[in-house]
Structure 1
Amino acid sequence: MPRASLRPLTIKECFGVSTQMARLTGGIKTGESGTDGDAMEFMEIAGYALVVFVTLFSLRLFYVWWTRIRPLRPKLDLVWEADCEHLTTATVEGNDITFHKVRDFHWRTTRDRDERWADEVAVRLDELKDVWFMVDHFHAIRGMAHTYLTFEFDCGTCLSFSFETRREKGERYHPWDGLWRAYELYLLVGFERDVTGLRTHARKNKDYMFRAITPPGKDRDLLLGMIQKLNQLSVSPEWYHSLLTTCNTSIVRIVNKVTPGRIPFLWRNFLPGHTPRAAFKLKLIEDWGGYESTLQKARIDEFAQEWDGVEDYSMMLRNRLPKGPHRTEN
């Protein structure tokens, strides 16, 4: 077939026979196309208008991205909000791990708090006891939630690792802004009584705490993977992205780096509020009597709000949760 005879289909041809073809076959008389003909004319005009609009919008979006967004570079030296002021780093020497600048805030409300950063926190890799998967529902929309990990050591220390946004002084987070390189990626390391206590007490969110299941030795590799990311971000900042580089997708990347293919590509990875069901099906968390029972037993905010402030916060949480198959009462 000659190249000149090839042409793209018209809008009319995409929707069906054209008005002219209908006339030739006797379906519509010339000059009397009527309602059907008018409707097809309208659809053609609307189709062209839509194509033009989408094309112009896409070109404009590309122009803005290429000229204004793409050149932006993440920074380390801005004036940050107090809760993300410092970057935690860690040194590893054999089994000895020392964290520098660990957040240890005491929250009464979201605005009333005592601020403190621990200069040095020492733990041992061979004393890693459990890894906990935390899900914080901060919004009425079920899929909107925050996920993070807590590492528990035999010495009683519980450190939470939470991928968040690093905000400048006076800056507030909004998911839309997070699509356009507005925030640096921040890996917070804080004591559990700070990171989880903020959510159960100051914010009064609905929170769940699941004991993670890891292959032998992979729990330590996961911690070392987190530390590697921690130290990397302290010298080479990255952008947070509301869809691609979030609290949950960042965890998934490190888990799959430690154990390739452990977490497949799932839509739930992008809606953290739905991750418990996926984690349960993939046997990433312990089964406490079926999914619904596990979910019920994992909820901690209701009893955590009864905390008297005297008992150790982390011990209080674990005393109300099922013991692992390899754990006994202290």
Structure 2
Amino acid sequence: MPSFLQPKTPPSNGDWITEYARTTRVQWQGDCVTLRDIRNFRYITRDQPLPAWYDASYDLNTVQSVDLVVSHWSGPAIAHVFISFGFSDGRYLAISIETRRQNGQKYSPFGGFLRNYALIYVVADERDLIGVRTDIRRERVHLYRLDLSPAVARQVFEQYLARVDHLNRHPEFYNTLFNNCTTNILRHARALAPQFRYSWKILASGYADAYTWDLGLLDQAIPFAQLKAQSLIQRPADAQIDEQFSSTVRQQRGTHI
């Protein structure tokens, strides 16, 4: 369909594939926030999810950290990039910016130019968003701790939730170049640090971690190549995605070194 005949905004209600059937709803209550329908899928195979969602409340004063997740599913230049927030009570909550596809739709970068896919912020348990990539798809997943204070981590968390809330009311189309996982992450970063600039490493998303290191937001005590090796999540073939998943993957990173 020619672009001028395509809709200007994506549908609010669609025949969404199971993973995107629900969007997370945000309820603000002063320094607390309640999130409805946090995704927590398990996967028999990559194409056989076991759907589950839950509700949870978070004290904004307990946001402690932000981790960068870079998952290579093809060559070194191609990766999916998202972030995860850590809280002082030991919980983690991941948020991934993706294409909200309908049944029968397959993702393609070219299709992402043509207003084919809605944009969605998937708010999910790490056992879902990271676990499916490490244990089911067997992608090469790197997990980095960003060098941010708890105060800044809270600001980033609030920004993300505000964006989730906005998209629920005002849907947008995904765009392969201008409204994708990495450009939205950079948009959030620039809201707090306007000096951040676009880079070819943002478009070649597999190098987003290198760009983040260049900006001084990752551990500078060791060379980036060493940090990247140490940040690789190694999962045994018989590993279980259990309640200790988040702590386990953080303990096991870089055990091959």
State the alpha-carbon separation in 1 of the partners of residues 221 and 138 from structure 2. 25
Structure ranking higher on relative contact order (CA contacts 8 Å, 6+ apart): 2
State the alpha-carbon separation in 2 of the partners of residues 164 and 310 from structure 1. 25
Q: How does 1:82-97 map to 2 (within 5 A)?
A: 82-97=18-33
Secondary structure of the residue aligned to 1:245 is coil
Secondary structure of the residue aligned to 1:303 is coil
Q: Greater shift after overlay, 103-112 or 284-293?
A: 284-293
Q: How does 1:221-260 map to 2 (within 5 A)?
A: 221-260=155-194
State the alpha-carbon separation in 2 of the partners of residues 269 and 213 from structure 1. 19
> 2:104 corresponds to which residue?
170
Q: Between the two proteins, what is the percent identity of the paired residues?
A: 24
> In the TM superposition, what is the alpha-carbon distance from 1:104 to its structure 2 partner?
0.5
Are the aligned partners of 1:97 and 1:122 in contact in 2 as well (CA < 8 Å)? yes
1:142 and 2:76 matched: yes
Equivalent AA in structure 2 for residue 240 of structure 1:
Y
> In the TM superposition, what is the alpha-carbon distance from 1:216 to its structure 2 partner?
5.8
Q: Greater shift after overlay, 284-293 or 164-173?
A: 284-293
Q: Number of paired residues?
A: 254
1:289 and 2:226 matched: no
Equivalent AA in structure 2 for residue 235 of structure 1:
R
Are the aligned partners of 2:66 and 2:84 in contact in 1 as well (CA < 8 Å)? yes
Alignment RMSD (CA, Å): 1.9
Are the aligned partners of 2:65 and 2:149 in contact in 1 as well (CA < 8 Å)? no
Cα pair distance change 1:287/1:206, threshold 3 Å: same
Equivalent AA in structure 1 for residue 158 of structure 2:
L
> In the TM superposition, what is the alpha-carbon distance from 1:121 to its structure 2 partner?
0.8
State the alpha-carbon separation in 2 of the partners of residues 298 and 288 from structure 1. 14
1:128 and 2:63 matched: yes
> In the TM superposition, what is the alpha-carbon distance from 1:111 to its structure 2 partner?
2.1
Deviation sequence 1:206-249 (CA, Å, 0-9, x none): 11000011256211110000000000000100010011111110
State the alpha-carbon separation in 2 of the partners of residues 285 and 311 from structure 1. 27
State the alpha-carbon separation in 2 of the partners of residues 242 and 309 from structure 1. 31
TM-score (norm 1): 0.73
**Structure 2 unaligned spans of 5+:** none
State the alpha-carbon separation in 2 of the partners of residues 305 and 268 from structure 1. 32
> In the TM superposition, what is the alpha-carbon distance from 1:310 to its structure 2 partner?
4.6
State the alpha-carbon separation in 2 of the partners of residues 215 and 269 from structure 1. 23
Q: How does 1:84-233 map to 2 (within 5 A)?
A: 84-118=20-54, 120-139=55-74, 141-215=75-149, 217-233=151-167
Equivalent AA in structure 1 for residue 83 of structure 2:
L
Are the aligned partners of 2:65 and 2:145 in contact in 1 as well (CA < 8 Å)? yes
Are the aligned partners of 1:288 and 1:297 in contact in 2 as well (CA < 8 Å)? no
State the alpha-carbon separation in 1 of the partners of residues 5 and 27 from structure 2. 38
Are the aligned partners of 1:88 and 1:101 in contact in 2 as well (CA < 8 Å)? yes
Are the aligned partners of 1:200 and 1:305 in contact in 2 as well (CA < 8 Å)? no
Equivalent AA in structure 2 for residue 115 of structure 1:
P
1:320 and 2:252 matched: yes
**Structure 1 unaligned spans of 5+:** 1-62, 323-330
1:68 and 2:28 matched: no
State the alpha-carbon separation in 2 of the partners of residues 242 and 193 from structure 1. 27
Deviation sequence 1:250-270 (CA, Å, 0-9, x none): 111011113322x21211111
Are the aligned partners of 1:307 and 1:313 in contact in 2 as well (CA < 8 Å)? no
The structure where strand makes up a greater share of residues is: 2
State the alpha-carbon separation in 2 of the partners of residues 295 and 160 from structure 1. 20
Are the aligned partners of 2:100 and 2:118 in contact in 1 as well (CA < 8 Å)? yes
Secondary structure of the residue aligned to 2:109 is coil
Cα pair distance change 1:288/1:86, threshold 3 Å: farther
Cα pair distance change 1:136/1:126, threshold 3 Å: same
Q: How does 1:17-56 map to 2 (within 5 A)?
A: none
State the alpha-carbon separation in 2 of the partners of residues 251 and 306 from structure 1. 33
> In the TM superposition, what is the alpha-carbon distance from 1:321 to its structure 2 partner?
4.4
State the alpha-carbon separation in 1 of the partners of residues 188 and 241 from structure 2. 34
> In the TM superposition, what is the alpha-carbon distance from 1:288 to its structure 2 partner?
5.6
| Structure with max Cα Rg | 1
Deviation sequence 1:36-68 (CA, Å, 0-9, x none): xxxxxxxxxxxxxxxxxxxxxxxxxxx944x32
